Amino acid sequence: MMTRSLIVQRISRWLAPFIFIYGLQVILYGHLSPGGGFPGGVILASAFILILISRGKEEAGRRLPLSRAGRFDNTGALVFLAVGLLGFVLGGSFLANFLQRLFPGRPFSLLSSGTIPVNNLAIGLKIWGGIFLAVLFLSVLRVGGDPDRGLKTMEEE
């Protein structure tokens, strides 16, 4: 593997946790301020993509294994769908906000606006896993390389 300079490795190691926390903030406050599940999820993924770029796919695959990222992707989609179907059953319409009575919309209050934060979390989880997987796969595929071998070594890690 190509060796990266010490500065890049060290700085990215410091930066990644802050990026991750910022992503969480964007997701959790998505119903109160600009942001939400999609941008937050991309930011979460970018923390891991930074590790992928600076310290190699082995290290990134160790922090977020392929199978776990795939599970995030599926679980996020399923939670979103479950909220939609619960709205169908309880609220009378697909994706109806059936938690609105319990947590009505209030400015600056984290526990508000019913199902929207739940959906933001679900989307965030899905995008986190999905974007990371997409970039990971792109990093494995090379012209002339053997894509299966790259993936297998990662699954073994």
Partner 1 sequence: MTALLPLMVALPLGAAFVLPLFPRRPRRAGDLLAGLISGVLLVLAVILSGRFGIYEIGGWRMPMGINLALDGLSAPVLLLAAAVGLAAVLFSSAYLDTYAGRNRYWALLMLMTAGINGTILSGDIFNRFVFVEIAVISSYILVGFSGRGRALAAAIRYGLLGAGAANFTLLGVAVLYALHGTVNVAHLAGSVPAAGTSVPGPEILFAALLMVIGFGYKSAAAPLHVWQPDALAAAPAPVAAFLAGALIPAAGVYALARTLFTVFGHAEALGWMLLFPGLLSMLFGALTAPRRKDPRAFLSYQGISQVGYVLTGLGAAMVLAVRGEERAAGLAAAGAVFHLLNYGGAAALLFLAGGAAAPPGKPSRWSRLAGMAGAGSIAGIPPLGGFSSKLMIVAALWLGGFPLLAAAAAVTAVLAPVSFYRRRDEFPPPPAGPAGRTPPAMAAGLILLTTLVLGLSLAPLPGLRGRLLGPARAAVLDREAYAAYLEPGEEERP
- Of 126-145, which residues contact partner 1 (CB under 8 A)? none
Q: Is 122 in the site for partner 1 (CB under 8 A)?
A: no
Tokens of 7: 């500065």
**Among the residue ranges 58-66, 78-86, 104-112, 132-140, the one whose residues contact partner 1 (CB under 8 A):** 78-86
- Assess 96 for contact with partner 1 (CB under 8 A): yes
Looking at 61, 87, 117, 130, which residue binds partner 1 (CB under 8 A)? 87
Cβ(48)–Cβ(94) below 8 Å: no
Classify residue 118 as exposed, middle or buried by CB count within 10 Å of its CB (0-12, 13-18, 19+): buried
Cβ-based neighbours of 99, under 8 Å, separated by 6 or more:
114, 115, 118
Q: Per CB under 8 A, does 75 bind partner 1?
A: yes
Contact (Cβ atoms closer than 8 angstroms) between residue 83 and residue 95: yes
Told to check if 93 binds partner 1 by CB under 8 A, we report: yes
Q: Is 102 in the site for partner 1 (CB under 8 A)?
A: no
The contact set with partner 1 (CB under 8 A) reads 70-71, 74-75, 77-78, 81, 84-85, 87-88, 91-97
